[in-house]
Amino acid sequence: MSTNSETLFEAFLNQHDSEAWSKVLTELSPYIHKVDGTATQIWFAFFPIAFQRLLAQAEDRERVIKELLLKGNFELKDQIDSSHRFLYGHRFCPEVKKAVTEQAASTRPPETLDLTAMIRKIASETATRLKVEESLLTGITAVAFMTLQQVGFEAFKASPGRADANRPMDRKTPDQILKERAKDDKQGFFGFLKSVDKVWTVTFNENDEGAKFKLINGQDLAMAATSDPRDYKSLDSRCKEGEGPIPVECRTAACGTCWVGVIGGAEKLAEATPREKRKIKEFGYICTDDPKPIIRLACMTQAFGAVSIVIPPWNGVFGRRIGMYKPPAIESEKSKTAHG
């Protein structure tokens, strides 16, 4: 519902819930360059509108934060310009933010009330000014729209709108990045022998050339990450000393701490087990029947090739609260008696 403090554009955006945005992403998918197709979906999974509304509507916010076991930086308002660093389109953030801000500040009714068409229009106009492919801006433009909806116009406008400088991704073409994501490690002269354990590279930040660790064929992502001895706790308080870059608590899919987005190589991972599928819905991370979804629990996910992942800055358990997960119905005592 619109409030007196909302701009006309904000009121329009706030009419779109999770279901509406899911439809928009499906419609936009053919128009997003492959380099950012999966990345855009991962970003929307990392920052779902249903979760934001749950927090915004909470009467006792601190109590809800404790109940949902929220850890890390779950506030999108604190990372407006940085949350999408893993998108190739991040480089266009300043220009896209300017265009979206101008649209949001306008007092004139929008030319269309079709959100998909509006996103494509701004992406197209900005791409023309920058003389680049429209498909490279479509994903980041959708992210900008959703960010504005979640944080509000004033916070969105006030953010600097800067893109990270000197990213490794910026020195490569989209095709080069896609080729690197698909590439597997060479296994040496004896790699063809079944008795030799194959070793693969897991990249966990494509914007840091050193953000990699090795994984033995068939090992789960979380366990493989422990081979990286560097200090990650100083960067992310959820990490434990000696456990590597992926935050881990239980290693049994009970806590949801180790969720990751698979930006490249999802087909090289084992299919999600029934438990993993159930738990990622319970946590609220993704609702899909895909046997190899783009959101995985690292402690349950075995790899059989090189993969590229993204580690979200937070974790929690909120699937039941937003209606994503409903526990199986418990058979009543009367029913049990009737069945003998």
pLDDT confidence of residue 192? 61
Question: What is the arithmetic mean of pLDDT over 191-209?
Answer: 84
pLDDT-derived band at 196, boundaries 50, 70, 90: low
Per the model's pLDDT, the better-predicted residue between 133 and 3 turns out to be: 133
Tally of structural domains, the chain: 2
> What proportion of the chain, given as a percentage, has pLDDT over 70?
93
Q: For residue 306, what is the domain's CATH number?
A: 3.10.20.30
Would residue 321 count as lying in a domain? no
Q: Are 307 and 206 in contact (CB under 8 A)?
A: no
* Concatenated DSSP letters of 169-211: GGGS-HHHHHHHHH------TTTT-TTSPPEEEEES-TT-TT-
> For the segment 90-124, what is each residue's pLDDT rounded down to a tens digit?
999 999 999 999 999 988 877 888 999 999 999 99
What is the gyration radius of the CA atoms in the chain, in angstroms?
Answer: 21
The DSSP 8-state label assigned to residue 332 in this structure reads: P
> pTM for this one?
0.93
Same domain, 41 and 157: yes
pLDDT confidence of residue 166? 86
pLDDT confidence of residue 339? 39
> For the segment 207-261, what is each residue's pLDDT rounded down to a tens digit?
999 999 999 999 999 999 999 999 999 999 999 999 999 999 999 999 999 999 9
Same domain, 183 and 130: no
Would residue 306 count as lying in a domain? yes
Q: Among 103, 119, 92, 93, which Cα is nearest to 29's?
A: 119
Both structure tokens of 164:
């990270």
Both structure tokens of 299:
């402690």
Domain closes at, from 116, 132, 164: 164
Would residue 215 count as lying in a domain? yes
Domain closes at, from 164, 190, 207: 164
Would residue 325 count as lying in a domain? no
Same domain, 37 and 129: yes
Give the domain extent around 196. Answer: 175-315
pLDDT exceeds 70 at position 331: no
Tell me how far apart the alpha carbons of residues 165 and 138 are, in angstroms, rounded to a whole number: 21
